[in-house]
Amino acid sequence: MLIFAAVLAIFVYGMIAAMLGTILPDLSDRFHLTPAQNGAIAFSQALGLIIASVGVGPLLDNQGDKVGLILGLAFIVVALFALPRSGGFRSIAALLFLLGIGGGIVVTGANALVSAVTPGHRATALNLLNLFFGLGGLTTPFISANIFKRNWVRLCYTVASLTVVALIVHAVTRMPAPTTAASFVLADAGPVLGRPLLFLLGAFLFLYVSCEVGVWNWLPRHLIAQGIPESRALNILSLGFALGLLVGRVGVSPILISVPAIQVLLAASIAMAVTTFLMLRTVKPAAAGALVFIAGLSMAPVFPTTLAITGTAFPRMTGTAIGFVITCGWAGLAVSSRIIGAIAGGDPLRLKKALLLIPASAVLMIALNLVIKAALS
């Protein structure tokens, strides 16, 4: 039941992670939003993710995963039911901020929960858990393009209703007790926050999330600017990128039983640099779909495997350590969204140049991986 609850939470998070990129073209048309405003909206969501991840680690360690997960799911429900009633740029940004807070709490809580209950096979378990993130990410753009016919209002209400179901499941599920004593002691966090390895892992996830969420949020707009129809662009995001994440996490799980996690991250970083660069060079839908799928395969193991390394390296105050590393990841989203939006300016055609930030970040991940490997040895 614990694993089912965590899976449901990650599935919901996958759906909302793909939400902004899925509805952004329609929101931009309806409210006449510029790429710079799109970047500001993505930044608002990232800011919510950052704030949530900073605060939720001590909450999880002190009060337990259940409190955090219920709180995060409740925020998501409120944001999604209110979004169709938004009146323009400011209200959209505010609701995406709230959605980010809920998402940040949920993703940290679910990963911390599975990390705690599967210490013997943490990397494999977290990759299997996060394949449901890929399934959620596949579902949102797919049903939007093929079932709801781009009716983003129905999409919001549907995902909100599913989140209510997840909230009920978490409310009735018994979860492990907190990992620390009755109160969070700052002095106890010193040995955790004082280790350079934690900051190296945080920097690695900073770069990775810049890449992954850059694809989620900006790929459909980029493909549309290249002349690809919107429904086709959303299917490329769904059946290309999200499916690649899903298949990749299924495939890498048995590999992680025998291959060190840090080596898997190095191979993934190299593949990311190559495939994300190539996917931005094509304007043909079939080629774009294939390259985006391979890019998803390449990115699949990075997020959960980095968290697995974090959980293994920090057995005490695991929620705080994982929360810190995830916070660094969301900071990558915030920074990359601002940079991409600023470079694109008011011209969607300049997105291709702006999105070169993705393969550039992957190249930096390769160098950082080698530093982390030395720190672990």
DSSP string spanning 88-101?
SHHHHHHHHHHHHH
Q: What is the DSSP letter of 177?
A: P
Per-residue pLDDT at 57:
66
> Is pLDDT above 50 for 286?
yes
CB-hemisphere CA count at 13 Å for 145?
A: 22
> Where does the pLDDT of residue 182 fall: very low under 50, low under 70, confident under 90, or very high at 90 and above?
very low
Average of per-residue pLDDT across 285-296:
92
- Which domain covers residue 24, as residue numbers? 2-174+190-376
Percent of the residues in the chain that have a pLDDT greater than 90, as a whole number? 31
Of the candidates 133, 130, 2, which has an alpha carbon nearest to the alpha carbon of residue 64? 2
Of the candidates 225, 243, 244, which has an alpha carbon nearest to the alpha carbon of residue 340? 225
Per-residue pLDDT at 218:
83
Task: Say which CATH number the domain at 148 has.
Answer: 1.20.1250.20
Radius of gyration of the chain measured on its C-alpha atoms: 19
In a domain, 122, yes or no: yes
In a domain, 220, yes or no: yes
Per-residue pLDDT at 178:
63
Per-residue pLDDT at 184:
46
Per-residue pLDDT at 64:
67
Mean of the per-residue pLDDT values of the chain: 85
CA 8-245-298 angle, 5° bins: 150
In a domain, 182, yes or no: no
> Where does the pLDDT of residue 226 fall: very low under 50, low under 70, confident under 90, or very high at 90 and above?
confident
Tens digit of each residue's pLDDT (9 = 90 or more) over 307-345: 889 888 887 777 778 878 888 888 887 788 778 878 877
Answer whether 264's CB lies under 8 Å from 256's CB. Answer: yes
Tens digit of each residue's pLDDT (9 = 90 or more) over 341-364: 788 776 666 788 889 999 999 999
Of the candidates 295, 285, 242, which has an alpha carbon nearest to the alpha carbon of residue 18? 242
In a domain, 137, yes or no: yes
Answer whether 211's CB lies under 8 Å from 272's CB. Answer: yes
Cα separation, 276 vs 360, in Å, equals: 9
CA distances from 330 to 1, 69, 302, 377 (A): 29, 18, 14, 27
Per-residue pLDDT at 113:
80
In a domain, 86, yes or no: yes
Domain count, the chain: 1
φ, ψ dihedrals at 86, nearest 5°: -65, 150
In a domain, 180, yes or no: no
In a domain, 153, yes or no: yes
In a domain, 184, yes or no: no
Cα separation, 311 vs 309, in Å, equals: 6
Cα separation, 344 vs 70, in Å, equals: 38
Longest dimension (CA), the chain: 58
Q: Which two tokens stand for residue 135?
A: 């399934």
